[in-house]
Chain A
Amino acid sequence: MSQFVLSGNLSFLALGEVLQLIGSNGGTGVLNITSKYSQEPGMIHFSKGNIIHGSAGSVKGLDAVHALFGWVEGDFAFSQEEVKVPQTIRNSRMEIILDGLRMLDDGHTKILGPVDFAEKKEGGVKSSVPIIKGPLVDYMYVAAEEDFFKGRKIVTENKHGSWIWVVLEGIVDVIKETSEGPVPIVRMGAGSFIGGVSCFLFKDNVRKATIQASTDVQLGVLDSQRLADEFGSQSREFRDLVVSLDKRRDQITEKTVDVCLKRFSLKEFTKGKQPAKKMGINPEKLLRIAKGEVCLVRKTEDGGYIPLAVLGERDVIGPCPFVDIGHEPQKAFVFASPDTETEELNPESLDAEYSGLSSALRNLIETTATSITVTTRVACDYHKNNLQKK
């Protein structure tokens, strides 16, 4: 086995920079790139700093190296070793980097990640509702498989149910039923979960949205007992944080409907609340609410504001230490009621707890976090569309 001489995370050092670093040091060896969204690692072979071969799944050569620029989330590791592969690439390093980035920016390269914004034509109408995808499924936790035909309802809003599924194949639609007809929220593809941690916590389990099979789908029923046991053994702080994420997702889904149907009033929403900073609450820290109520407002790209969520006792605000949900402190404003009191949580220990979880539970939480980000984006889009219609 060879030794890794350079390794790290692509979200910190992008592929273009890694290639330059290895290149300017004249490295000879293999750069391995792993993404949880791909079964096989990608590889780029170097000889004296020059890129000579690449592979990404079944794609080989220069096309493979270009495709790897789309792996924006993942890890890289470079090992120094003798390279025996035949040279298939003769382009200069900088040419490969600039071309790779250009193709990514032009949209020619597919981005491997949790969200797929592939636009799908449906009866001539373009629907740009994004598809959430999850990491590869851990079959250890799949207790049974179920098939649903296209159009079947899997979960009905307001009905009771506590099963958690993972999508194995196909796409499902997440829909909110309203007085003015169904409002599509997001679509979920392979690897994403139906249901959240709250499914194994409370007795009255009311479904917050309808899930319908958009194509023929295959779902895996999760071994909830096992997950519930694991979740129960985590610290109180950790459970509060994750449950709060679940709550946040439900709230945003509600608010998205309000934004879509234009039936919200920001004045009403923030009534009796002050910007958190004014009250000495620093949303750049991870805080658990001990008393009071806070609400979150997001500024949209077109300069408008939309409501996101109302959180109360035991909910957590601030930057989530293990997943980026794209809310406060950068993208959302926090307003708090005058009696709000908070206590600070330790992000490092929560992050460590998260890393120690089984992959199934981790993926479940990740789907929740991704849904928050994506649903927020959908709400912003609805807001934009409404403005344009005016």
Chain B
Amino acid sequence: MANINLKLREIEVKIVYYGPGRCGKTTNLEQIFKSFRKQVTGQMVSADTEGDRTLYFDFLPMGLGKIKGYDVRVQLYTVPGQVKYASTRKMVLREVDGLVFVADSLEVRREKNMLSLKDLHQNLKEYGLSILRVPLILQYNKRDLGEQGLPIMPISLMERDLNRQLKVPSFPASAIKGEGVGPTLKACLKLTLQSLKKQLGW
């Protein structure tokens, strides 16, 4: 559950971007960082984990309003998927409030997507969370590659592969162009705050 900082009168909400390697988690965060620059208080932190970068920054989004007089501070993370980064993953996934699963639309990545989602399920389980209960949004990234003639999967197929049981909101996106990044985050924040209010009994 979210951290409540009584000193600063802030609720810290932790949102984690998960997905197979090079699916565009980092690009998502970079786009968000760019467009919310004015609201970002710290700098973006990046640790070069093998094959994938781990990113972190936090910001106070405008327009989210206050909850019971508390500002909502959003901490965004990406998480390295490889098995060996267990302690990093544990720290990042601990007390996660909301998740975005970024899937790669390229046909060749079909299996990678499914494996990574299964991984997420397993990891959450280890930390006592259920993938069916944690606020989760799917993003089908790299839609723009279709225009360049690369074989991508139709949305309906990805829905069937990944979202058949979860039945969570999903968004097509092209993170590199900034398309779909905002709606994904907004939807995730909305779900997260709803679940948070429920947990707190507010």
Contacts and interface: CB of A to CB of B under 8 A. Distances in A.
A92 B84 contact: no
Interface in A84-114: 92, 94-95, 97-99, 101-102, 104-107
Nearest to B50: A106
A105 B84 CA distance: 6
B45 interface: yes
Contacts of B54: 98, 102
Q: Secondary structure of the B side of the interface?
A: mixed
- Chain A CB within 10 A, most for which of B43, B86, B87, B94: B87
Interface in B25-61: 42-43, 45-50, 54, 56
B91 A105 contact: no
Contacts of A94: 42, 45, 56
Contact of B91 (A26, A92, A101, A106): A101
Given A25-B7, A26-B7, A102-B54, A97 B91 contact: yes
Interface residues of A, number: 19
Contacts of B194: none
A17 B49 contact: no
A24 B9 CA distance: 11
A14 interface: yes
Contacts of A92: 42-43, 45
Given A24-B5, A24-B12, A26-B7, A98 B88 contact: yes
What interface size band does chain B fall in?
Answer: 20 to 34
B85 interface: yes
- Chain B CB within 10 A, most for which of A14, A25, A99: A99
Nearest to B5: A24
B3 interface: yes
A41 interface: no
A329 interface: no
A98 B45 contact: yes
Contacts of B85: 101-102, 105
Interface of B: 3, 5, 7, 12, 42-43, 45-50, 54, 56, 80, 84-88, 90-91, 94
